[in-house]
């Protein structure tokens, strides 16, 4: 069963920030939140992950709420190349290293 | 630093045939997982190999089998191919089998597109 809920699709104007939400209300204390994206016909690309603190890298920022029941992936200046399906994944405690992908959010960046 | 590499990139097989897909993990990684991604769906976990043994398995039939070699590379074998096996097959590698539990990263290859006709 999917442990995360994401909107199926979102649009964003080129150059603007893209804010992708994810709900994970059943997350437990030792579970990480991972974000991957998949550009058409390519393998999933790692973006960022976090446990409880906000994280930032060269690709994006991850904001996790204090109760850890939701998070937001922020692409600060979206480009056309950021058009992709974005997956928010919470590790399944019983599944070791397995990543369980839900439906993701299809982000369309428009000129 | 080479990432995860997979071969072949595309192939077409006939129902009932067998196929072997290959994966070389990212440099320094010793754990390999395989995923199947049908068109329009998210990737589904098939199995994971570590120290040349299958450590975890998803909900896939025994027609799907694998192997890991001493150099950590891996093969995915599918026997008695069905039309429904047509998909993108993804290989993912990590430093340890419990990478996710430790907040480590899992990297994916570009995949092998299998079409069964």
Asked if pLDDT for residue A1 goes beyond 50, the answer is: no
* Eight-class DSSP state of B41: S
Q: Give residue A58's pLDDT.
A: 94
Residue A26, sorted as left (phi over 0), alpha (psi -120 to 50) or beta, turns out to be: alpha
Q: Could B108 and A96 be called an inter-chain contact, meaning their C-beta atoms sit closer than 8 Å?
A: no
Report whether B32 contacts B25 (CB < 8 A). Answer: yes
More confident of the two residues A56 and A100:
A56
Nearest by CB to residue A91, choosing from B4, B43, B101, is: B101
Q: B4 to chain A: nearest residue by CA?
A: A43
Distance from the A43 Cα atom to the nearest Cα atom in chain B, whole angstroms: 4
pLDDT tens digits for range B61-75: 999 999 999 999 999
CB proximity B24 to A under 8 Å = no
Which residues lie closer than 8 Å to B71 by C-beta, 6 or more apart?
Answer: none
Q: Could A99 and B43 be called an inter-chain contact, meaning their C-beta atoms sit closer than 8 Å?
A: yes
Structure tokens belonging to residue B41: 């769906």
pLDDT tens digits for range A43-71: 999 999 998 889 999 999 999 999 999 99
Helix residue spans in chain B (DSSP H): none
Residue A20 bridge partners (DSSP): A73
Least confident of A68-82, B6-20, B28-42, B86-100: B86-100
CB proximity B68 to A under 8 Å = no
Rounded mean pLDDT of A13-28?
A: 95
Nearest by CB to residue A98, choosing from B45, B105, B110, is: B45
Cis-peptide, bond into residue A20, ω within 30° of zero: no
């Amino acid at each position: 069963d999917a442990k995360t809920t994401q909107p199926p699709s979102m649009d964003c104007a080129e150059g603007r920030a893209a804010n992708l939400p994810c709900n994970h209300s059943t997350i437990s204390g030792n579970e990480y939140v991972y974000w991957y994206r998949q550009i058409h016909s390519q393998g999933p690309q790692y973006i960022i992950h976090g446990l409880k603190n906000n994280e930032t890298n060269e690709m994006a920022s991850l904001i996790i709420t204090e109760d850890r029941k939701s998070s937001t992936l922020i692409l600060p200046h979206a480009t056309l190349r950021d058009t992709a399906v974005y997956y928010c994944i919470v590790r399944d405690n019983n599944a070791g290293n397995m990543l369980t992908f839900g439906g993701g959010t299809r982000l369309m960046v428009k000129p | 630093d080479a990432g995860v590499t997979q071969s072949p990139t595309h192939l077409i097989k006939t129902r009932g045939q067998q196929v072997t897909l290959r994966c070389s993990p990212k440099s320094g990684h010793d754990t390999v997982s395989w995923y199947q991604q049908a068109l329009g769906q998210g990737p589904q976990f098939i199995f994971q190999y570590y120290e040349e043994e299958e450590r975890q398995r998803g909900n896939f039939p025994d027609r799907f089998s694998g192997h890991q070699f001493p150099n950590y590379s891996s093969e995915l074998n599918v026997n008695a191919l069905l039309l429904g096996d047509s998909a993108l097959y993804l290989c993912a590698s990590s430093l340890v089998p419990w990478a996710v539990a430790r907040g480590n990263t899992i990297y994916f290859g570009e995949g092998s597109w299998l079409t069964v006709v």
